[in-house]
Chains A and B, each alone.
Chain A
Amino acid sequence: MRLARVGQAAIAMAVCAIAAGACARRGPEHAPGTVQIDIESSPTSTDPRFATDAISSRINELVFDSLVRISGDGEFTGDLAERIERPDPTTIVFHLKHAVQFSDGRELTSRDVKFTYDSILAPGSMSAKRAGMIELAAVAAPDDYTVVMTTRHPYAPALELGLQGVVPVGTPLPAESIEAAPPGTGPFAMRSYRRDESVTLVRNPYRTTPFDGAREILFKVVPDPTVRALELAEGICNLSENNLEATVLPWLERHRALAVSNTPGTTYRYLAFNFHDSRLRDLRVRRAIAYSIDRAAIVNSMLRGTARLATGMLAPESWAYVGDVMSYGYDPAKARRLLDEAGYRAGRDGMRALRFEFKTTPEGARLAEVFQAMLKRVGIRLEVRTLEWATYYGDIQRGNFELTSLQWVGIEDPSYYYMVFDTAMAPPRGSTNRGYYSNPEMDALVEAGQRTLDPAARKEIYARVQKLAALDLPYVSLWWVNTVAVLDRDLRGFEPYPNGSLRSLAEVTLAAPGGAEPAQ
């Protein structure tokens, strides 16, 4: 009798739940013609003058155009600029396209460009972009369609300065603005920004929309990777890029409505050494570590083929790439020999008097354990220290580590070699040469690379840089991470970029959900 009542209560609750659920299914989550993309966290800023994180960049480049842009094959191409001149080594002249309009109808002129750069360069701007523009001395607007940039020194990677998204003159600082985002000249305009929930983009009314092109893009914040996978499987989400776990890819591949795209990327993962450690200053020890890591096995099993074995920081997509450099295949016997030569003989248990601390974040802990097991095979003990991100990052930037593994994202120009390997960029003066690597030959090369404007001569310099880096091994090059996108088969025309850009969303069309589950 009592149990019967429990049963009744349970049925009543279930009916309530069905009723509530039925109500929820009636209102569609987004309109037809909307592409939903799940992202792992909110963009930190919708103002391109301030945003530096990857998600903000991905979204902002759909809303804001810049003077130049990086194409799918890694080349600089004009965006707002139709023509670029370099009359002398410290001057770049950008001739702007005419009749370009912001999403509020205003026409773009050189004054908008100058305003954008000036508001970043202002000493009190508190923009994280300022540091990257340290070489930029001034931006002038001699007429409505000409922008002249002057650099402090002859500066080879100067075109990178033109990658800044442009906002209209007079745009207030984010804290003083009530708009979702400033207007831009890009294919989309931001309609709403709800922190930690979603970002909605609509078409820029002053730009021609391709026939059938997606009318709206909804970026929905879904922090849990399993839930992102579920939303794709369910047809709620149409696209997820570079934010799914490799282990769920085979499961997603089995869904007929989904396509998994796994294409080369430029994000570079490396193992870093600290050169303040005398044991690691010994090239034989560094090489032994390189030989004892079975990169191919990691890429094939743990990463499920979503990466390419790297020869250096620059990926083959770069114009300056050189592939015939010293490489380190998996060779534990060679590693043992090198360690013996370096004076670290194995004890009776096969272990040597070599113990390193390997710092990592919780996300990197699995990889760290793989390294630990692989180094143990040659007699090196690795102590894995897992730290929360901010603590870890602080330690790495101060050079407070022995071994660690990190990645560089968005390597477009070989001038990054200067930041990463030049003696002057080591802490405390800089923070990007975190392992205190110092080699006069490398310094001379990367400094020359910064000043040399002639493309052929630059290419030659960076060929030598890449060969030297592989020989001298300040980093063990691990792999280049692929761009992995899982998308709805109804989504046509999506082109993955090596750097993860979503720029092709301007051209995609979303076929009517024929047969597929309509978006919930």
Chain B
Amino acid sequence: MIRYLIRRVFALVPVALGVATLTFALIHLVPGDPVVAMLGDTAAPADLAGMRHQLGLDRPVLAQYASFLAGLARGDLGESISYRQPVARLIAERYPATLELAAAGLLVAILIAFPLGFIAGAKPGGAGDIGAMGFAILGISVPHIYLGPLLMIVFSLDLRWLPLTGRGGIAHLVLPALTLGTALAAIVARMLRQSLIAVSSSDYMRTAIGKGLSRRAALLRHGLRNALTSVVTLLGLQLGGLLTGALIVEMIFSWPGLGRMLISAINARDYPLVEGCVLTFALTYVVVNMATDAVYAMVDPRVSLK
């Protein structure tokens, strides 16, 4: 297992290289100019040219790419054009906020999805199933941009239980995490239901019930663990959705995360900062999926990682 993980870590290198290259190509391909965005309307062409030179933006794109990669190899993400600060420092400032939000969203999703999925999967076609799956459809259908303000109005303005916006303690986290986690919860609940229904007809379940366990107890003790494999896969894959969803939620709740910084970096054509942010998102995604594989081995003894 350790050897497997080491191999996977090395496999990160080509992934990072691919993402870095793709991002670099895309951001340089789209029209727009960081220097114009920064110096604005009234800048003299000589100043624009001077600044381009100073930032090395007047060099051939391939040369810029080479020095970008060289910096990356040293772990140096460069300096942000608009903030004039090291990209690594800026990302380090903001990344915890996004991780916190994504983790809370994931937690909310699990907390909602597991009871719902279990209720639905334990007795397919029953009232619990219909109710839970109805909720799931609603959860998938309501977009963040609508759910966020709705939760704000109910829980913050009307009931005054929770703060409206910003980052602070746990209370600040509740509404953004609910907004972010609901859609994922809906998907996971449906998946868990399907898996539970699938394992219900397996031999070991019949054996367990035959030995006198109630259907519910058998599902809880033996079925759930077997049904988890597919759910864990789904959670890993959906993390990408969680990170991009976080982008919108960050805007609504004034959450100082990486997503908002990425958006302003794109608007300013702040090349190094865009590259740094995208790379961070991509690596998070890859690492989480790696961790998912490791979790498989834990929940399912049949899976061995070599």
Chain B CB within 10 Å, residue with most, of A29, A128, A173, A389 = A128
**Inside 8 A of B30's CB, which chain A residues have their CB?**
390-391
Hey, which chain A residues are within 8 Å of B162, CB to CB?
A: 17, 20-21, 24
Cα separation A233 to B168 with both chains bound (whole Å): 22
Contact of B43 among A2, A128, A221, A389 (CB under 8 A): A128
With A24-B172, A131-B47 in contact, is A197–B153 under 8 Å at CB? no
Asked whether, in the complex, the Cβ of B41 is within 8 Å of the Cβ of A432, the reply is: yes
How many angstroms from the CA of A172 to the CA of B119 in the assembled complex?
63
CB distance from B151 to the nearest CB of A (A): 10
Report the nearest A residue to B254, measured CB to CB: A222
Interface residue range, chain A: 35 or more
- Interface residue from B40, B115, B152 paired with A52 (Cβ < 8 Å): B40
Complex-state Cα separation, A13 to B115, whole angstroms: 12
Tell me the bound Cα distance from A391 to B29 in angstroms: 11
Complex interface bits, B22-66 against A, C-beta within 8 A gives 1, otherwise 0: 000000001111001111111111010011001000000000000
CB-CB under 8 A for A197 and B149, given A17-B174, A52-B40, A128-B38: no
A282 beta carbon closer than 8 Å to chain B: no
Q: How far is the CB of A399 from chain B (nearest CB, A)?
A: 13
* Complex Cα gap A21–B41 (Å): 47
Q: Are A393 and B37 interface neighbours, CB within 8 A?
A: yes
> What is the CA–CA distance of A216 and B41 in the complex, to the nearest angstrom?
34
Contact A173 B260 (CB under 8 A): no
Interface string of A19-31 (1 = CB under 8 A from B): 0111111000100
A197 touches B166 (CB 8 A): yes
Q: Taking A17-B174, A20-B162 as contacts, is the C-beta distance between A227 and B254 under 8 angstroms?
A: yes
Residue A327 is within 8 A (CB to CB) of chain B in the complex: no
Q: If A6-B128, A222-B254 touch, does A20 touch B174 (CB 8 Å cutoff)?
A: yes
> Which residues of chain A come closer than 8 Å to B111, judged between CB atoms?
13
Q: Which of A17, A20, A126 meets B54, CB within 8 Å?
A: A126
Whole-angstrom CA separation of A41 from B156 in the bound complex: 23
Q: Return B41 CB to nearest CB of chain A, in Å.
A: 6
The digit string for A388-400, where 1 denotes a CB below 8 A from any CB of B, is 1111011101000
Contact among B54, B119, B152 for A230, CB-based, below 8 A: B152
**Inter-chain contacts of B253 with A (CB < 8 A):** 227
Given the known inter-chain contacts A2-B128, A131-B44, A224-B251, please indicate yes or no for A173 contacting B84, CB distance below 8 A.
Answer: yes
Chain B residues with CB under 8 Å of chain A are 30-33, 36-45, 47, 50-51, 54, 79, 82-85, 90, 93-94, 111, 115, 119, 123, 126-128, 131, 149, 152-153, 155-157, 159-172, 174, 251-254, 256, 260-261, 264, 266-269
* Contact surface of A with B, Cβ cutoff 8 Å: 2-3, 6, 9, 13, 17-18, 20-25, 29, 41, 44-45, 50, 52, 123-124, 126, 128, 130-132, 134, 173-175, 194-197, 220-224, 226-227, 230-231, 233-234, 236, 388-391, 393-395, 397, 419, 428-432, 520
